[in-house]
Amino acid sequence: MSGISALNIAKDSLISHQTAINTTGSNIANVNTTGYTRQRPVFTTNGTMDVAAGLVQMSVSIDQIERVYNRFLEAEINEQIQDFGYSETRKEQLQLIEIIFNETTGEGIDDLFNKFWGALEDLSSNPEGQPERVALLSAAESLTYLFRSFSSDLVAVQDDANAAISDLVTQVNGKLASIADLNEKIAQNETGTGDTNVLRDARTVLAKELAECIDIQYFEDSRGALNIFISNGLTLVESGNYYTLDVQANAGNSFYYDVVFTDNPGVSINKYITSGRLAGFMEIRDTTAAAYLNDLNMLAATLVQEVNVQHRLGYDLMSNVGGDFFDPSKTDARTIAVSAAIIGDINKIAASETVNGDGTNAMYVGRLKDALVLNGNTSTFNGYYSSFIGGIGEDVASANRICNHHTDLMNQLNIKRESISGVSVDEEMLNLIKYQTGYSAAAKLCSTVQELVDTLLGLV
């Protein structure tokens, strides 16, 4: 091996170990950088040389700076992120709904139902009493107001979820565009001499953010591009191309959005979005809040019907046949109201069963408190509402358990990822010592060879 060859070996070793030191420094510097993947220099020999004693390894070089990355683990993390996004969205929205129906203040529907029944009982004892009639009207108006308020609050939850869907679609489109752009840059750098590790880290972070919004599947092609699909196989990103989503009015409810592809606006893809925050908001808007509204509407409609039927069987203070107590044209929770005739004249409350002025009819209306008129004639008004509130509580508890489960799984997977791809300062310091030792040895080799060459030249 000539002196020049030995110097080249020393030079290559110096360069390689300097690169390794730089890589270690980059790892240490980015120990707290979100999404950073630990990098590792891959040393490789530059071949062998045939000498009398056999083959001798030639110099060394850095073949690549590789990301310490487990793609199967990353895919599993992304799946959990999708489930987490869905479950956390449901949990947060259900907690908002639970606050709406908070019965701890003593001013919930259950309490106002009891005041309404109590006012009817008081009126039955004194059918001609003006204070009793005023109290009944006040109790009825408070009850109907709370129905309308709860309905409005539930619709507001639906409207907010609808707005969130539109915002998320905008976010998704931005991430799709960024991923497609990174795909192009990665492909260009990998065909040249550029380093793609930073670009890949940025793309991995974007893929996780995208997964939290919408359920996706993906694979990396031979050019290094990340191709992304939704659950039914429809393409979102293909190499440097991306296909944006949009929102349009739902055919059945023009106030609410369907998610569509911008290039195919007539076809809703709602049913293919089964996880992520988008699915969570859709489920709250279209299923959960809608079901609660239906239950509330059923309660209001039954109250209007049953009270009006009995009220019309009685007589008011002017000995006229009773009319409707509640407005018969307003039979859902959004519109329920005491009839204008009763509001205008409390003497039209038909408390009597006969023209003689007893309070029997008010008593009969009050007995509706215990009537089995809901859930297929198995529940009372208060019982139905208590079950309704209990159901919301169970839904919230279930959502909390599911969200906590996915949070725990995601944390465990992230801990596992950190053990593989994260930066350990202790480990990097050991690597730094190792590479510094290699660099010093290469420098010593360089000076030693230089001395040998100088000695040989001095002999000439």
Q: State residue 163 phi and psi, 5-degree precision.
A: -65, -40
Window from 30-34, 92-96, 366-370, 450-454 with minimum mean pLDDT: 450-454
Separation CA 23–CA 431 (nearest Å): 10
- Residue 371 — very low, low, confident or very high, per pLDDT cuts 50/70/90? very high
C-alpha 41/C-alpha 435 separation (Å) is: 10
Torsional class of 11: left (φ above 0), alpha (ψ -120 to 50), beta (otherwise): alpha
Average pLDDT over residues 200-223: 94
Residue positions counted in the chain: 460
Residue 223: its H or E element: none
Report whether pLDDT(460) > 70.
no
Q: In this model, does residue 265 exceed pLDDT 80?
A: yes
The mean pLDDT value of the chain amounts to 92
Do the Cβ atoms of 348 and 323 come closer than 8 Å?
yes
Query: What pLDDT sits at residue 357?
Result: 77
pLDDT above 60 for 239: yes
pTM of the model as a whole: 0.89
SS3 for 334?
coil
Q: Has residue 192 got a pLDDT over 70?
A: no
DSSP per residue, 102-163: --TTS-SHHHHHHHHHHHHHHHHHSTT-HHHHHHHHHHHHHHHHHHHHHHHHHHHHHHHHHH
User: Over 90: is that where the pLDDT of 188 sits?
Assistant: no
Give 47's pLDDT tier (boundaries 50, 70, 90): low
Q: Is the pLDDT of residue 110 over 80?
A: yes
> pLDDT band at residue 106, thresholds of 50, 70 and 90?
low
pLDDT score of 256 more than 60 = yes
2, 3, 23, 49, 448 from 45: Cα distances, Å = 18, 19, 19, 11, 22
Q: Is the pLDDT of residue 1 over 70?
A: no
Amino acid identity, position 220: E
DSSP 237-287: EETTEE--EEEEE-SS-TTSEEEEETTEEEEE-GGG--SHHHHHHHHIIII
User: In this structure, are residues 230 and 244 in contact, taking their beta carbons and an 8 Å threshold?
Assistant: no
Annotated domain spans of the chain: 3-68+422-459, 76-409
Residue 53, pLDDT above cutoff 60: no
Pick from 222, 234, 185, 192: nearest CA to 206? 185
* pLDDT over 90 (residue 54): no
Residue 51 has pLDDT above 70, yes or no: no
pLDDT category at 98 given cuts 50, 70, 90 is: very high
Cβ(88)–Cβ(218) below 8 Å: no
| 458 confidence band (pLDDT: 50, 70, 90) | confident
Q: What is the CA radius of gyration of the chain?
A: 37
User: What tokens does 368 get?
Assistant: 């509706």
Find all residues with CB under 8 Å of 447, minimum gap 6, and list them.
none
Query: How far is it, in rounded angstroms, from Cα 256 to Cα 278?
Result: 14
Model confidence pLDDT, tens digit, residues 66-87: 999 899 999 999 999 999 999 9
Helix (H, G, I), strand (E, B) or coil at 56: strand
Report the percent of the chain where pLDDT is more than 90. Answer: 78
Q: How far apart are CA 99 and CA 287, in angstroms?
A: 19
What's the pLDDT score for residue 296? 98
pLDDT tens-place string over residues 125-152: 999 999 999 999 999 999 999 999 999 9
* Average pLDDT of the residues in 211-219: 95
**Exposed e or buried b for every residue in 245-262, given b needs 16+ CB within 10 A?**
bbbeebeeeeebbbbbbe
